[in-house]
Amino acid sequence: MSSITSSCYSSLILKKKESRINGGFHLQYNELKAIETVQMPASSVAYKPKAVKCGRVRAMASLAVSAPKRATDPKKRIVITGMGLVSVFGSDIDKFYNKLLEGQSGITLIDRFDASSYAVRFAGQIHDFSSEGYIDGKTDRRLDDCWKYCLVAGKRALEDANLGQQVLDTMDKTRIGVLVGSGMGGSKVFTDAVEALMQRGYKKISPFFVPYTITNMGSALLAINTGLMGPCYSISTACATANYCFYAAANHIRRGEADIMVAGGTEAFISAIGVGGFIACRALSQRNDEYEKASRPWDKNRDGFVMGEGSGVLVMESLEHALKRGAPIIAEYLGGAVTCDAHHMTDPRADGLGVSSCMVKSLVDAGVSPEEVNYINAHATSTLAGDLAEVNAIKKVFKDTSQIKMNGTKSMIGHGLGAAGGLEAIATIKAITTGWLHPTINQHDLEPQVTIDTVPNVKKQHEVNVGISNSFGFGGHNSVVVFAPYKP
């Protein structure tokens, strides 16, 4: 198996110091301009550069590069045994993916609040949601939608993994953890409390205000409802949240701290304050007269992203444990990575450096060479800067993109923020299991820099060898996870 491609690394180098260490190279990078391509040897290489200055920011470039070798220890191999979601297309996984394959837009006019005076009046809003069978009526009335989505998606994922409550009650629950994050938390509960404070005084604030607002409550409520006593917390890294959770959950399993992790993301921020806030950021499309065509990744006429919501949750399990209990194995999680742009609060690096290094690290963690990857579920939010920055990064990592297909789930369901990576991980896994890629809709005038097949407007049959799913968030948070068909 070939070594990780050097094209990504060459873009980092202006000045290079080199010495032999254990048959490899010790490299020090500073500045961000390419002057040469460095061929990494096929033998195991590790380099640990010293911290160097890059403008006013101190940066540490430290990547472990080796000839890819996938994990073989069944205790450390991680498989997906269950999936659950709440989406604009409902809570059934097959229905969700069939709608995507059909190229159907889930973007509608907002009716949750009066948006008639707003510059943006549409979103990927969930309609007719029901938690029946998963949350009791009293609790349902109190909970923020963010946590309702989490509980329903989480419990459906457990059911999909043949881990209903009766089965869970026979297992060692200290070996099963929960890691479901959110970018915004219980925003409706928060705004209701602010309104109560301003209109009626602090004594009218609900006692549920604090617990139902904080971002860790999704994981906590799911654990409380199911009795799961393993690692339980949340991660909040804006729109990269769910992938961060997958990556951290996998590492708990690899370290032997858990046999099963229930992981993903949840979000419900389509509200007066949520939409208003993103309008203020100038981040949203304002295509009110053609809202179904508003989310158009890589199209020259894109004008911002479309808000979405929901929850996507995976049951991640050590292969050893899954085989022992006869679990249904859907796909395999090979690895992942997280990095930071260290550049700007909302804008991505134009050179894609943080993103490209994240993809490289994810492939190293997965034991996968770039040549093995033939599908990318892109972050692709339909923003002017973000779409091209991601493409630039992909081109740095993958020398030959002729066999790669790349699509944008957000073109149909909008941007689910902290839930986006969860929903898109499920779309990636369904692409693996069905052999069909959903289209990127609203592709009519592609940017000339985008030379990768974006599966424009119509689904395509494609046997996925290795697929990656990208998620990036405000603050420069980058995350990539790697999936593949399960092979014993």
Among 252, 343, 379, 462, the active-site one is 379
Q: Is 252 annotated in the active site?
A: no
The pairing of strands 176-181 and 232-233 is parallel
- Contacts of residue 7, defined as CB under 8 A and 6 or more positions apart, other chains included, come to 37, 396, 397, 399
CA distance 356 to 130: 40
Q: Is 245 annotated in the active site?
A: no
Nearest Cα to Cα of residue 467 among 335, 329, 364, 327: 335
Q: Is 239 annotated in the active site?
A: yes
CA distance 303 to 322: 45
Nearest Cα to Cα of residue 470 among 462, 461, 483, 479: 479
Q: What radius of gyration, in Å, describes the C-alpha atoms of the chain? A: 22
DSSP β-bridge partners for residue 243: none
Among 252, 321, 343, 415, the active-site one is 415
Nearest Cα to Cα of residue 362 among 400, 331, 333, 395: 333
Amino acid of residue 394: I
Cβ atoms 362, 63 nearer than 8 A: no
- Contacts of residue 432, defined as CB under 8 A and 6 or more positions apart, other chains included, come to 331, 375, 464, 467, 483, 484, 485
- Sheet containing strand 232-233, strands side by side: 232-233, 176-181, 260-267, 310-318, 78-86, 331-340, 477-484, 466-473, 373-377, 405-407
CA distance 86 to 144: 14
- The Cα-based distances of 244 to 83, 313, 363 in angstroms read 17, 13, 15
Among 239, 252, 343, 462, the active-site one is 239
Residue 432 gets the label, from left (phi > 0), alpha (psi -120 to 50) or beta, of alpha
Query: Mind telling me the catalytic residues?
Result: 239, 379, 415
